[in-house]
Amino acid sequence: MNKLKNILNKRLGFMTLLIFFLWIKTIIAYYLDFSLGVSDPLQHLILIINPIATAVILLSIALYINKPKISYIVMGIIYVLESALLYGNILYYREFSDFLSFNTIAGVSKVSKGLGGSAANLGQAHDFIYGLDFIIIAILLLTHYIKIDDRPMRKLTAIATTLLGVFLFSFNLAIAESNRPQLLGRTFDRAYIVKYLGLNTFLAYDSIKTVQNNQVRSEAVGTDMDDVLSYINQNYAKPNQAYFGKAKGKNIIVIHLESFQQFLINDKVNGQEVTPFLNSLYNDKNTMSFDNFYHEVGQGKTSDAENMLETSLYGLPEGSLFSKLGSDNTFQAAPAILGQKEGYTSAVFHGNIGSFWNRDNVYKNMGYNYFFDSSYFNKTSDSSLEYGMKDKLMLSESAKYLEQLQQPFYAKFITVTNHYPFQLPDEDNDGFQAPDTSNSAVNNYFLTAHYLDNSLKEFFDYLKSSGIYDNSMIVLYGDHYGLSNSQNPELAPLLGVDANNWTDFNNSQMQKVPFMIHMKGLKGGINHTYGGEIDVLPTILHLAGINTKQYVQLGSDLLSKQHNQIVPFRNKNFITKNYTVLKDSDGNPEVFKNSTGEQINLDQNPDLKKKISKWQQYVNDKLKLSDTINNKNLLRFYTPTSFTPVDPKNQSYQNEIQKLVQTRNTLGLKSTSVYSQNNNKSTTTLYNTDAPELNGDRSVIDSWSSVLKKTNDSTK
């Protein structure tokens, strides 16, 4: 005990005690109060060590102060602020399932209002733990067990302590990046930064990004929209009158096919169709299928695809727009447009946590009425993979919520099972035999794609049997590539290509993803028009009978005769109807014929060289314009006629089931939900799935009454 007392009576010893208390409190909060999705031993290790480094760095500041009493006071102030930040995050997370950001702290009055004016309502029995350390420290000081160390502190010791903290942080960051590459570059989720680097690092990172964004935005003025509106006017593509309004009043169901590439359509492995249901849908007479449709995502990948689908604006050149700007930007997005123009109810169904890609904030800004994330589904030890619930389970359990939506509705389903590393438990495989290449990711990709296909067949069968199908337009699209360029040589033989002859042109062709519009009575067929994800929104809106001329959209209707068939990629490469243009390592264009893959010598074709230069300028200008709109948040300066910018403060995704019931009860006989139209009887009994996790138990699918009871009990 005397040895411990001697240590604590030194300034470094007292600082170590404070670090220990901060560390233990933070670890308790990580496991008891935050849902951080820790999935493997390395992540547990990172979680355990990440509070230490920044605590060492911050508390070491006090060591540079010569006067001992002042040094202890500063150390105490830092400790109190750190403890307040921790507990503030705990309370905020309990209410909003998110962490305190720079903007949230800066608007502390709004935080108090958001917490209902009384943090006591959010307190829990174990919260005494977070104040126990103050009692212990007070007793140690009052009993003089700990005394102030009056000896001067050597500057070298202070510097060494700070450097120790920097070293620990560098070590933490290195192992975090090994487990989650591009952690800070892509910013998947606020919870990811907390999980890997801690609350302090998250707040510092968020603060830096906020200041950078605010600086750019503060320089923006309303006249910056002049160039944008001029571009929109010049590049507007009129709707094709043969299709305009064909889906007016119909439900619009968007199915997000995770990592699904075009080559899977009609493909066979070992004589078996990989995706037999999607093949039948792709070739259905009621489906408009596009075979020259490309993803155009950047580092934001899935979130970039969603952004283009919802807003017809590109993602950012670096990182994710959802994560960097989505909480604050003004959008003219599909759910708001459809809701305000045609009375659509909007909802998203996703089997991952709501904060991933910052969706819980972005969807509010886009105008989504409902967001059913993983908290609304039955989660068990075998129901989820790394990125969320398995598709069969998510889709089947979504039925009880879908049938409650007021029609017409705009509903998006985000599948996740076909996500890298493409791991599928044996019990979820119906006997499909994967290829046998030297690359396990390539082999497994076909298994998860086949599973996704089975999931979609079950979902479509339900839509048809419940009657939803007859009144709906269903849109399916692949969000981005699944297999990377480095894996394509192993894939090549399966596509009938010699791996030794695989070129950059072949890589570019692998950026094709499916895009299908399916509706009963739609004049379908294979459409060879070149386009990309940026073009989805104007196409859907025109089919729904909404003219897009007044909205700021950089894509154009794929069915319009005026559609521009230049497809820009986020890295400024592009594809036209006849040519693929890629940059070499020196930034010079490499041009390939789409029909043959043959590379063209531009020096021998000066006319084409001029066209390429002109097209490249078009691509550069289009991407730059999108970045300007996003980074400067220019849409706050322009409101289309009959459009009201979304106020996210009016939206919350905490009580979705209650909202569904209240809406239905308020409307009464005027309710247009499938449930109401079925005489207040559920249609979920019509949903048939062979998901082995259910073991024949349909209770989680046919559980609307139990869901209501659970909701009512939790709100008493």
Please provide residue 2's backbone torsions phi and psi, each rounded to the nearest 5 degrees. -65, -35
215 CB-near residues (< 8 Å, 6+ apart): none
Provide the β-strand partners of residue 294: 512, 532
Mark whether 548 is an active-site residue.
Answer: no
From 26, 162, 275, 302, active-site residue:
302
DSSP conformation letters of 71-94? HHHHHHHHHHHHHHHHHHHHHHHH
DSSP conformation letters of 25-55? HHHHHHHHT------SHHHHHHHHHHHHHHH
Provide the β-strand partners of residue 254: 412, 475
Check the annotation: does 380 bind a ligand: no
Check the annotation: does 480 bind a ligand: yes
Respond yes or no on whether the N-terminal peptide bond of residue 408 is cis (omega within 30° of 0): yes
Q: How far is CA 686 from CA 197, 366, 402, in A?
A: 46, 32, 13
Rounded CA separation 353/334 (Å): 22
Q: How far is CA 432 from CA 269, 418, 421, 650, 693, in A?
A: 9, 15, 18, 48, 18
Q: Which two tokens stand for residue 578?
A: 């006849």
Burial bucket for residue 311 (CB in 10 Å: 0-12, 13-18, 19+): buried
Check the annotation: does 419 bind a ligand: yes
Check the annotation: does 417 bind a ligand: no
Q: Which two tokens stand for residue 640?
A: 């289309």
Find the distance separating the first CA and the last CA of the chain, reported in whole Å: 51
Long-range contacts of 371-380 (CB under 8 A, 24+ apart): 371/347, 371/653, 371/656, 372/347, 372/348, 372/398, 372/401, 372/656, 373/653, 374/350, 375/97, 376/401, 376/656, 376/657, 377/351, 377/700, 378/700, 378/703, 380/693
Residue pair 707/480 in contact (Cβ under 8 Å)? The answer is: no
Q: Which two tokens stand for residue 651?
A: 């939206």
Provide the β-strand partners of residue 530: 292
Check the annotation: does 479 bind a ligand: yes
Rounded CA separation 165/85 (Å): 20
Rounded CA separation 347/368 (Å): 6
Binding site membership for substrate: which residues?
Answer: 419
Binding site membership for Mn(2+): which residues?
Answer: 258, 302, 479-480
Residues known to be catalytic: 302
